[in-house]
Structure 1
Amino acid sequence: MKLTKTHLGAGTLALGAVLAFAVPAGAAVNLQSESNGSSSIKIAKTANLKAKGAATVVTVKVGCPVGARYQVGVEVGQVVNGNTTAHGTAYLYNQVCTGAVENVKLHVLADGAPFKPGVAYAVGSADISGPAGYWNLNTGREIVNVNN
């Protein structure tokens, strides 16, 4: 097949489109989805290790309209030694929104290896329901486990 200027132009355009939508490697991401404008979720950067790494306490900030109800969860994963990972999940159900941003402390038990001081990754979600509707919010970020 003979390459023409048209083929090269189309290929260049396609490559440009792919690069334009690519997220840079290592970019910090703290996403929020499907918000109603007054609801929010954010994971605090620092988590506190407990019982020699058997658990880590992650603070998740949840905001929602007065009188709505929410449930919140967080999952933490951490490479602790070569191919060994520590991970765990925690949830809190049926909470009432005050209209202010709540600092919710979730105690995540390590499943597998214990957590250790250092960088981990946390993914959080909140389901909020009230008279105005239902929202699902999601976020993720690097956190730092510290000894307390």
Structure 2
Amino acid sequence: MKLRKSHLGAGALSLGAVLAFAVPAGAAVNLQSESSGNSAIKIVKQAKLKAQGAATVVTVNVTCPIGSHYQVTVDVVQTINPNTTTHGSGYVSNQDCSGVTDKVKVPVTAGGAPFKPGVAYAVGRLDVSSPWSYTSLNTGREIVNVES
């Protein structure tokens, strides 16, 4: 069977059409984990150590509709040495949504060894409630603990 240039062109066009639809769909799935309608959560890359590592303060950007209330929970885990990790959690609750992006400082206390300067991983959860709806969003990212 001999392929003609027209067959190759049609195949390339078909492949391009498939990719054009598949790539945006994948991007939309990723975006849904960090935002939903008028609500969004994003963890800021730098956190500040407190009390010689007994805690770290993680800043979270929160957006939600005015008239709603929210709670933010943050979990942090950090490798202290090749055989030891430390972790902790913190939350801020019963906050009023302003309708714009707010910078929320969440204190996270260490639950074992103290946190240290350097890379850690943070997972955030935003729960937004109002008389007409409830939304829960999650996100995670590497953060860098720095001395305050």
The TM tier, using the shorter chain, reads 0.7 to 0.9
Match of 1:17 in 2: none
Q: Secondary structure of 2:36's partner? A: coil
Once residues 64 and 44 of structure 2 are traced to their aligned partners in structure 1, the CA distance between those partners, rounded to angstroms, is: 17
Percent of matched pairs sharing the same residue: 64
Match of 1:66 in 2: 66
* 1:21-32 → structure 2 map (5 Å cutoff): 32=32
Give yes or no for contact 2:34–2:40 (8 Å, CA) kept in 1.
no
Cα root mean square deviation, aligned: 1.6
Match of 1:120 in 2: 120
Match of 1:20 in 2: none
- The one-letter code of the counterpart of 1:56 is T
Match of 1:140 in 2: 140
Cα deviations by residue, 1:52-82 (Å, 9 ceiling, x for unpaired)? 1111000011100001011110000000112
Residues 52 and 31 from structure 1, CA distance in 2 versus in 1: closer, same or farther, beyond 3 angstroms? farther
Match of 2:40 in 1: 40
Cα deviations by residue, 1:98-139 (Å, 9 ceiling, x for unpaired)? 101111101111111100010000000011012441110100
Q: Which runs of 5+ in 2 are unaligned?
A: 1-29
Q: Which runs of 5+ in 1 are unaligned?
A: 1-29
**TM-score normalised by structure 2 residue count:** 0.76
Deviation at 1:33, TM superposition (A): 2.3
Match of 1:107 in 2: 107
Deviation at 1:83, TM superposition (A): 1.4
Which structure carries more helix by proportion?
2
Deviation at 1:32, TM superposition (A): 4.7
Give yes or no for contact 1:69–1:96 (8 Å, CA) kept in 2.
yes
Give yes or no for contact 1:78–1:119 (8 Å, CA) kept in 2.
yes
- The one-letter code of the counterpart of 2:61 is K
- The one-letter code of the counterpart of 1:84 is T
Give yes or no for contact 2:34–2:139 (8 Å, CA) kept in 1.
no
Q: Secondary structure of 1:112's partner? A: coil
Which of structures 1 and 2 has the bigger CA Rg?
A: 2
**TM-score normalised by structure 1 residue count:** 0.76
Q: How many residues of Structure 1 are paired with residues of Structure 2 in the alignment?
A: 119
